[in-house]
């Protein structure tokens, strides 16, 4: 059993909470979580990898145990959060790493990769999208907000922040919902219920448009640098379709794609399979 340390780093005045395990002289895997979660979504994965790899899982600003600065002093955009994550890796002295990107973690990780290609040793994309092919019809209400950022369209998205929707994200597409621990979505709902958290998340819904606009830039990065990439995907994800995983093969000659019979939060039901796939991937791509 590997000990997991729970730490906080001062990143230009922001307290960024993170989990860390494994030998620091081993390959580093940076775990970037998605909405509406935090680094706790990797609670089962980290112990499965830490005997061989240095694993780091930060909570993004506004999520989990990291600071949630006031919206008047901090702009909740993906570009801004990516800058914080880049500085976080510098503060903790991680200069080259493989990135596990999930959901929101994908556009953040892909921004880092496109801007700092020499830092990226490889990419594990678990339902982390970079192609229009991967966007399902579930995005239509959010896309309406992008096109018409009215108060009515913003408020229509509040249903996505309810406890029922969070639980649905975890259980949709899972063959047996009893396999999904309530710990994850219950903790997510606790964080979502904090004062001001709803407005932070609505800001990020609106800014997600900037990620889609960067898809061509991400794809150009893939074509130019050919980073090793493993796409391990819950095929029943209601947000990101399997076509988004297969699309990596268009730009990456050696992309490996594995589709699992589960939903969006694939680690909740297929952690062993994903850990084994990552272990093989990182061993083959040191």
Catalytic residue numbers, as ranges: 264
Calpha distance 115→229 (Å, rounded): 17
Measure the CA angle with vertex 282, ends 180 and 265; round to 5°: 20
Determine contact, residues 5/24, Cβ cutoff 8 Å. no
How long, in residues, is the chain?
Answer: 286
Structure tokens at 80: 């801004």
Residue of 97, 81, 99 whose CA lies nearest to 11: 81
Q: Give the full edge-to-edge strand order of the sheet including 229-234.
A: 5-11, 14-21, 54-58, 28-32, 97-101, 120-125, 229-234, 256-260
Beta strands 5-11 and 14-21 are antiparallel
Instruction: List, in order, residues 6 or more apart from 176 with CB less than 8 Å away.
Output: none
């Amino acid at each position: 059993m590997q000990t997991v340390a729970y730490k906080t780093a001062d990143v230009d005045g922001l307290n960024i909470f993170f989990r860390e395990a494994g030998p620091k002289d081993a390959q580093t895997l940076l775990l970037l979580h998605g909405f509406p979660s935090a680094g706790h979504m990797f609670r089962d994965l980290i112990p499965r990898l830490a005997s061989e790899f240095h694993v780091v899982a930060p909570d993004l600003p506004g999520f989990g145990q990291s600071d949630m600065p006031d919206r008047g002093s901090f702009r909740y955009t993906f570009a801004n959060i990516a800058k914080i994550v880049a500085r976080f890796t510098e503060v903790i002295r991680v200069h080259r790493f493989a990135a596990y990107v999930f959901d929101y973690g994908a556009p953040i990780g892909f921004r880092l990769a496109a801007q700092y290609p020499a830092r990226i040793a490889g990419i594990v994309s678990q339902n982390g999208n970079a192609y229009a092919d991967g966007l399902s019809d579930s995005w239509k209400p959010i896309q309406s907000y992008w096109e018409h950022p009215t108060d009515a369209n913003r408020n229509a998205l509040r249903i996505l922040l309810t406890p029922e929707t969070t639980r649905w994200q975890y259980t949709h597409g899972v063959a047996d919902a009893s396999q999904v621990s309530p710990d994850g979505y219950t903790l997510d709902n606790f964080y979502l219920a904090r004062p001001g958290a709803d407005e932070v998340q609505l800001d990020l819904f609106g800014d997600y448009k900037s990620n889609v606009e960067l898809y061509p830039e991400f794809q150009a990065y893939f074509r130019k640098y050919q980073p090793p990439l493993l796409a391990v995907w819950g095929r029943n994800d209601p947000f990101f379709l399997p076509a988004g995983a297969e699309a990596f093969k268009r730009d990456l000659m050696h992309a490996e794609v594995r589709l699992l019979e589960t939903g969006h939060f694939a680690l909740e039901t297929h952690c062993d399979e994903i850990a084994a796939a990552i272990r093989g991937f990182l061993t083959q791509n040191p």
